[in-house]
Structure 1
Amino acid sequence: MGIFEHLFNATLSVGGQEMVWREIIGNVIGLTSAVGGMRRKVWAWPVGIVGNVLLFTVFLGSWFGLAGDHPDMLGQAGRQVMFIAVSIYGWVRWNQTRRQGGADAVAVHPTWATWPQRAGLLLGMLAGTAFFAWIFGMLGSWAPRPDAWIFMGSILATYGMARGWVEFWLIWVAVDAVGVPLLFKGGYYATGLMYVFYGAFTIVGFVVWWRIHRRESLEAAAASSTPAAEAIA
């Protein structure tokens, strides 16, 4: 076995359970990306892509001869591919925003989605979950319906992050609520534990972005009222 193959197959034994190091590292990288996203850093997107590539190899273990006791999770694997595509979009969008604002500008200005946009997210979640549950079932997914829910929620949350919608954090909460029990049941303990932490982290992220939006709105209102006050004076 070569060095690369040895590292690729390396596992960590915890409480009698074997966890692949790629799963652990991929989730740590994902958490790092989430922290960067909360802080509105452009580097969050390319860092997240690295984690997506690692986790893709984990959730389609049979493709790499590594399935073991863990079932393939097509939704979990598929969302890594979609993450990469949406992350490229977010990477470009945040870079554009930062360049337009000058050297000291932030990459995104959090805002609430409009009601039509929220309706689009809800319809997309329901219709997409139903469609991909059928697709994953046809492809032999171990748990097609929750797999599809996690898949669609993850894509919509990542898209919402790219658009700067505060609500994207709440979509992650809905994803985690289904993902935690599913991953534990499938034996993906590292990812399941990380999802538990993500659940708490997304609530913090929601509050942080909400406060940023409120502060920026007040600053914009104050700036717009100042010229009017000067004109009256």
Structure 2
Amino acid sequence: MSVLSVNSLGKSFGGVRAVDNVSFDIGKGEFLALIGPNGAGKSTTFNMINGQLAPDAGDILIGDRSIACMQPRDIWRLGVGRTFQVAATFGSMTVVENVQMALISHARRILNLWRPASSLYRERALELLAQVGMADSADRPSRELAYGDVKRIELAIALANDPQLLLMDEPTAGMAPRERNELIKLVKQLVIDRGISVLFTEHSMDVVFSYADRIIVLARGRLIADGNAAAIRDNAKVQEVYFGTGKTFQEASS
């Protein structure tokens, strides 16, 4: 059984068909990239899966359970983590407190704090920070962190609900090349170690082609290609959508 199944998904805004009959699935432990040029429907598809938008047509399944039209918090409680294009933490809190708040929320103890929040789930929060390479910064205020480190904290927060599926919206946006590769290597290792399935959007083609197990491509709201890196790189239709010529991804990056 697939971890995530997207079936005949559709969404319109006025007279514009932003997503048109899109279907795909993700297997356990699969690292799946969703790419496409600007306006392809990536964000709309992503936001329907996460519950920020309700689909006009089709269905979205986690295992055998439909999550179409569920609220993001309810989807999160089913074991779906999420990171955002622009990462943010509570700057007035320490690094470990940010992760503790996610753990407290997952345990449904936000409104039932008989003990100081700073004492709850600290050890588990430190374990998650160790997994993303940030344990040494646990007691630093989050506002002092470099942006690349904020991305790592966001990843630790996304792991607080022990997700079976992780949704990552442009995880390397705003990062330098070295930071980009370090973060994606870290995520890929988590996929291997924990068997998490990942769906991510990304504009950096070097990241996509180097790390994705499989790539799906959207253009004008429709799915136009689905395959491994070699198949997508050599796909004439994909090259035409991205470049409008016979130019290849390899030529474009050289």
**Same fold? TM cut 0.5:** no
Q: Going by fraction, where is strand more abundant, 1 or 2?
A: 2
Q: Going by fraction, where is helix more abundant, 1 or 2?
A: 1
Which of 1 and 2 has higher RCO (CA within 8 Å, sep 6+)? 2
In the superposition, the TM-score normalised over structure 2's length comes to 0.29
In the superposition, the TM-score normalised over structure 1's length comes to 0.31
